[in-house]
Amino acid sequence: MLINILITFLLITNIGAVASSRLTYCIKIVAAQGVVIGILPCLIYGEFALLPIVIAIFTITVKGVIFPLLLGWSLKTAQVAREVEPLVSYPFSIITAVLIFILSFWLGSRLSLPASFCGYLLVPVAFSTIMTGLFLIVSRVKALTQVLGYLIMENGIYAFGVALLREQPLLVELGVLLDMFVAVFVMGIAIFHISREFDHIDTHVLDNLSDRIPADIRPTEET
């Protein structure tokens, strides 16, 4: 029961991330997702054991505390305008999120899954989280929002992986988390540099490199 409540919460946060127009709010949503996803392994594992607790503590620290702090820091130092600036309108984004949600439930109902998955909404919600993350990456202008989309996508993959906990060794989980930690760290630094070079973190200024524009008229310095 508790598991299903948590999973539903995950679903609501997806819609919230798509619908919100403020970056700080988006970061908080991703942090909340990180905490929910951190608790999941303990509940799914059923019994009291060291392995899921270690993973849970680690996940909550990294995804729920460190990532939001890092992203908040880069938001502050880069002095970004606090709006999300979507490429598609908010109503359309919400409709897309709902469509993604329906699609993933249809997909989830057609899959044959091992016994450990059954009875949970986990798989469809995980799929919808992954696709929502992908949608955020392609539909938002700011580099920071793209990182948030990447994190939401990773959360979805992690939620799917949680159900496989018994088969996956601890080392792999830790490695995945470590990689993500470094990835977000490096991305945060990159955002800092982007804001310093271009005065803002909109990715549409990153279009100097392409094959179409001939060399003579290619703009070399853009502000």
**Does 114 sit near other proteins (CB under 8 A)?**
yes
Binding residues for other proteins, rule CB under 8 A, total: 46
**Does 153 sit near other proteins (CB under 8 A)?**
yes
Which tokens sit at 175? 């490695």
3-state DSSP assignment of residue 140: strand
Nearer to other proteins by Cβ, of 81 and 206: the residue is 206
Give 28: exposed, middle or buried? Use CB within 10 Å, 0-12, 13-18, 19+.
middle
Among 146, 148, 188, 202, binds other proteins (CB under 8 A): 146
Cβ contact 56:6 at 8 Å: no
* Cα separation of the two ends of the chain: 54
**Does 116 sit near other proteins (CB under 8 A)?**
yes
**Does 49 sit near other proteins (CB under 8 A)?**
no
């970061």: which residue's tokens?
Answer: 27
**Does 175 sit near other proteins (CB under 8 A)?**
yes
| Beta carbons within 8 Å of 160's beta carbon, 6+ residues apart | 122, 123, 126, 127, 130
Among 12, 49, 88, 178, binds other proteins (CB under 8 A): 178
Nearer to other proteins by Cβ, of 94 and 205: the residue is 205
List phi, psi (to 5°) of 24.
-60, -40
Site for other proteins in 183-222 (CB under 8 A): 183, 186-187, 190, 193-194, 197-198, 203, 206-209, 211, 214-215, 220-222
